[in-house]
Amino acid sequence: MISIVIPTYNESGTIKTTLDKLYEIVSPDDEVIVVDGFSEDNTKEIVSSFPNVKLHISKRGRAKQMNLGAEMAKNEYILFLHADTLISANCLTLMKSQIISNGIRWGWFPIKLNSPKFIFRILETGSNIRTRFTGSPLGDQGIFIRIDLFNKVGGYPEIPIMEDIEFITKIKAISKGVEIKSPVKTSVRRFEKSGIIKTFVTMWVLRILYYLGTSPKTLASYYDHIR
Protein backbone atom coordinates (compact mmCIF):
# COMPACT_ATOMS: atom_id res chain seq x y z
CA MET A 1 0.00 0.00 0.00
CA ILE A 2 2.84 2.41 0.90
CA SER A 3 6.22 2.87 -0.77
CA ILE A 4 8.70 4.21 1.78
CA VAL A 5 11.55 6.14 0.15
CA ILE A 6 14.73 6.90 2.11
CA PRO A 7 17.56 8.97 0.60
CA THR A 8 20.99 8.21 2.08
CA TYR A 9 24.51 9.57 2.01
CA ASN A 10 27.07 8.25 4.50
CA GLU A 11 24.37 6.94 6.84
CA SER A 12 26.15 3.86 8.17
CA GLY A 13 25.55 5.05 11.72
CA THR A 14 21.77 5.26 11.38
CA ILE A 15 20.41 3.23 8.49
CA LYS A 16 20.52 -0.22 10.11
CA THR A 17 18.41 0.94 13.05
CA THR A 18 15.97 2.68 10.70
CA LEU A 19 15.53 -0.40 8.51
CA ASP A 20 15.33 -2.77 11.49
CA LYS A 21 12.49 -0.69 12.95
CA LEU A 22 10.70 -0.46 9.60
CA TYR A 23 10.69 -4.20 9.07
CA GLU A 24 9.05 -4.69 12.44
CA ILE A 25 6.02 -2.71 11.28
CA VAL A 26 5.60 -2.72 7.49
CA SER A 27 3.02 -4.98 5.86
CA PRO A 28 3.58 -7.29 2.88
CA ASP A 29 1.86 -4.70 0.69
CA ASP A 30 4.40 -2.02 1.60
CA GLU A 31 7.85 -1.61 0.10
CA VAL A 32 11.04 0.09 1.27
CA ILE A 33 13.25 1.86 -1.24
CA VAL A 34 16.66 3.28 -0.34
CA VAL A 35 18.30 5.64 -2.82
CA ASP A 36 21.96 6.14 -2.02
CA GLY A 37 23.98 9.10 -3.26
CA PHE A 38 27.29 7.24 -3.70
CA SER A 39 28.08 6.99 0.00
CA GLU A 40 31.76 6.85 0.92
CA ASP A 41 31.14 4.64 3.95
CA ASN A 42 29.46 1.21 4.09
CA THR A 43 25.87 2.46 3.86
CA LYS A 44 25.26 0.47 0.67
CA GLU A 45 26.59 -2.74 2.20
CA ILE A 46 24.33 -2.34 5.24
CA VAL A 47 21.28 -1.70 3.06
CA SER A 48 22.15 -4.66 0.84
CA SER A 49 22.04 -6.94 3.89
CA PHE A 50 18.27 -6.40 4.00
CA PRO A 51 16.96 -8.69 1.23
CA ASN A 52 13.58 -6.99 0.96
CA VAL A 53 14.93 -3.45 0.57
CA LYS A 54 15.16 -2.10 -2.95
CA LEU A 55 18.48 -0.27 -3.26
CA HIS A 56 19.10 2.24 -6.04
CA ILE A 57 22.14 4.43 -6.65
CA SER A 58 21.78 8.06 -7.70
CA LYS A 59 23.81 11.18 -8.08
CA ARG A 60 24.01 12.89 -4.72
CA GLY A 61 21.24 15.33 -3.84
CA ARG A 62 18.32 14.66 -1.53
CA ALA A 63 15.68 15.91 -3.99
CA LYS A 64 17.21 13.99 -6.89
CA GLN A 65 17.38 10.82 -4.78
CA MET A 66 13.79 11.13 -3.57
CA ASN A 67 12.54 11.72 -7.09
CA LEU A 68 14.29 8.57 -8.28
CA GLY A 69 12.77 6.63 -5.41
CA ALA A 70 9.32 7.89 -6.34
CA GLU A 71 9.92 6.88 -9.95
CA MET A 72 10.75 3.35 -8.83
CA ALA A 73 7.82 3.07 -6.40
CA LYS A 74 5.03 0.62 -7.22
CA ASN A 75 2.39 1.79 -4.73
CA GLU A 76 -0.21 4.56 -4.85
CA TYR A 77 1.24 6.44 -1.87
CA ILE A 78 4.84 7.39 -1.13
CA LEU A 79 6.22 8.16 2.32
CA PHE A 80 9.50 10.05 2.31
CA LEU A 81 11.62 9.40 5.39
CA HIS A 82 15.02 10.75 6.37
CA ALA A 83 17.55 8.09 7.26
CA ASP A 84 17.62 9.24 10.89
CA THR A 85 13.84 9.41 11.36
CA LEU A 86 12.04 6.49 13.03
CA ILE A 87 8.36 5.82 12.43
CA SER A 88 6.12 3.71 14.67
CA ALA A 89 3.49 1.09 13.90
CA ASN A 90 0.86 3.51 15.20
CA CYS A 91 1.99 6.14 12.68
CA LEU A 92 1.55 3.75 9.78
CA THR A 93 -1.77 2.43 11.08
CA LEU A 94 -3.26 5.91 11.49
CA MET A 95 -1.92 7.06 8.13
CA LYS A 96 -3.38 4.07 6.30
CA SER A 97 -6.70 4.52 8.13
CA GLN A 98 -6.89 8.14 6.97
CA ILE A 99 -6.06 7.14 3.43
CA ILE A 100 -8.66 4.37 3.32
CA SER A 101 -11.41 6.23 5.21
CA ASN A 102 -10.96 9.77 3.94
CA GLY A 103 -8.94 9.46 0.76
CA ILE A 104 -6.47 12.11 1.88
CA ARG A 105 -3.93 13.06 -0.78
CA TRP A 106 -0.98 14.05 1.37
CA GLY A 107 0.09 14.70 4.92
CA TRP A 108 2.76 14.53 7.59
CA PHE A 109 3.49 13.62 11.21
CA PRO A 110 4.43 15.72 14.22
CA ILE A 111 7.99 15.26 15.41
CA LYS A 112 9.50 13.98 18.63
CA LEU A 113 13.22 14.73 19.02
CA ASN A 114 15.28 11.82 20.34
CA SER A 115 16.85 13.52 23.32
CA PRO A 116 15.57 13.84 26.91
CA LYS A 117 16.86 17.41 27.24
CA PHE A 118 14.13 19.93 28.03
CA ILE A 119 15.32 22.35 25.33
CA PHE A 120 14.31 19.77 22.72
CA ARG A 121 10.78 19.60 24.15
CA ILE A 122 10.56 23.34 23.51
CA LEU A 123 11.95 23.04 19.98
CA GLU A 124 9.71 20.14 18.96
CA THR A 125 6.62 21.81 20.44
CA GLY A 126 7.37 25.02 18.59
CA SER A 127 7.96 23.13 15.36
CA ASN A 128 4.70 21.18 15.66
CA ILE A 129 2.69 24.32 16.44
CA ARG A 130 4.24 26.11 13.46
CA THR A 131 3.41 23.22 11.15
CA ARG A 132 -0.20 22.96 12.33
CA PHE A 133 -0.68 26.69 11.89
CA THR A 134 0.91 26.95 8.44
CA GLY A 135 0.18 23.48 7.06
CA SER A 136 3.77 23.42 5.81
CA PRO A 137 5.78 20.48 7.19
CA LEU A 138 9.50 19.97 6.69
CA GLY A 139 11.18 16.85 5.36
CA ASP A 140 12.03 15.34 8.74
CA GLN A 141 8.31 15.14 9.56
CA GLY A 142 7.71 12.20 7.24
CA ILE A 143 5.84 13.70 4.29
CA PHE A 144 3.58 11.27 2.43
CA ILE A 145 1.72 11.88 -0.81
CA ARG A 146 -0.35 10.13 -3.45
CA ILE A 147 1.70 9.49 -6.55
CA ASP A 148 -0.63 11.32 -8.95
CA LEU A 149 -0.32 14.52 -6.89
CA PHE A 150 3.43 14.06 -6.63
CA ASN A 151 3.69 13.81 -10.40
CA LYS A 152 1.32 16.72 -10.92
CA VAL A 153 3.65 19.12 -9.12
CA GLY A 154 6.71 17.65 -10.84
CA GLY A 155 8.19 16.00 -7.76
CA TYR A 156 10.79 17.64 -5.58
CA PRO A 157 12.62 20.58 -7.17
CA GLU A 158 16.21 19.47 -7.60
CA ILE A 159 17.83 22.28 -5.65
CA PRO A 160 20.58 21.90 -3.00
CA ILE A 161 18.50 23.14 -0.06
CA MET A 162 14.89 24.14 0.76
CA GLU A 163 13.51 21.49 -1.60
CA ASP A 164 10.90 20.47 0.98
CA ILE A 165 9.60 24.02 1.38
CA GLU A 166 9.32 24.53 -2.38
CA PHE A 167 7.67 21.14 -2.78
CA ILE A 168 5.05 21.78 -0.09
CA THR A 169 4.29 25.24 -1.48
CA LYS A 170 3.35 23.67 -4.82
CA ILE A 171 1.25 20.95 -3.19
CA LYS A 172 -0.65 23.37 -0.96
CA ALA A 173 -1.76 25.31 -4.03
CA ILE A 174 -3.68 22.19 -5.07
CA SER A 175 -4.63 20.31 -1.92
CA LYS A 176 -4.70 20.76 1.86
CA GLY A 177 -2.60 18.28 3.82
CA VAL A 178 -3.51 16.36 6.97
CA GLU A 179 -1.41 15.87 10.10
CA ILE A 180 -1.43 12.30 11.41
CA LYS A 181 -1.71 12.50 15.19
CA SER A 182 1.22 10.26 16.03
CA PRO A 183 4.83 11.53 16.10
CA VAL A 184 7.86 10.29 14.24
CA LYS A 185 11.12 10.30 16.19
CA THR A 186 13.76 12.53 14.65
CA SER A 187 17.47 12.68 15.46
CA VAL A 188 19.05 15.69 17.16
CA ARG A 189 22.47 14.96 15.66
CA ARG A 190 22.68 18.20 13.67
CA PHE A 191 22.04 20.15 16.89
CA GLU A 192 24.68 18.11 18.71
CA LYS A 193 27.19 18.61 15.91
CA SER A 194 26.98 22.39 15.61
CA GLY A 195 25.33 23.46 18.86
CA ILE A 196 21.66 23.83 19.68
CA ILE A 197 21.31 27.61 19.52
CA LYS A 198 23.62 28.01 16.52
CA THR A 199 21.77 25.33 14.55
CA PHE A 200 18.34 26.72 15.42
CA VAL A 201 19.29 30.28 14.48
CA THR A 202 21.02 29.18 11.29
CA MET A 203 17.99 27.20 10.13
CA TRP A 204 15.61 30.10 10.70
CA VAL A 205 17.92 32.68 9.10
CA LEU A 206 18.28 30.49 6.01
CA ARG A 207 14.50 30.06 5.74
CA ILE A 208 13.92 33.80 6.05
CA LEU A 209 16.55 34.51 3.40
CA TYR A 210 14.94 31.91 1.15
CA TYR A 211 11.52 33.53 1.50
CA LEU A 212 13.16 36.87 0.71
CA GLY A 213 14.45 35.48 -2.57
CA THR A 214 18.00 34.27 -1.88
CA SER A 215 18.88 31.41 -4.20
CA PRO A 216 19.17 27.87 -2.76
CA LYS A 217 22.68 27.61 -4.20
CA THR A 218 23.80 30.63 -2.20
CA LEU A 219 22.05 29.38 0.95
CA ALA A 220 23.70 25.97 0.63
CA SER A 221 27.13 27.55 0.98
CA TYR A 222 26.19 28.61 4.52
CA TYR A 223 24.85 25.23 5.62
CA ASP A 224 27.17 22.28 6.26
CA HIS A 225 24.44 19.68 6.81
CA ILE A 226 23.58 19.06 3.15
CA ARG A 227 23.18 15.34 2.45
pTM value is 0.92
- pLDDT, one tens digit per residue, over 66-103 is 999 999 999 999 999 999 999 999 999 999 999 999 99
Q: Is the pLDDT of residue 110 over 90?
A: yes
Q: What is the CATH number of domain 2-192?
A: 3.90.550.10
- pLDDT, one tens digit per residue, over 206-227 is 888 888 888 888 887 766 554 4
CA distance 153 to 113: 30
CA distance 132 to 141: 12
- Residue 159: name the closest of 114, 76, 107, 219 by CA: 219
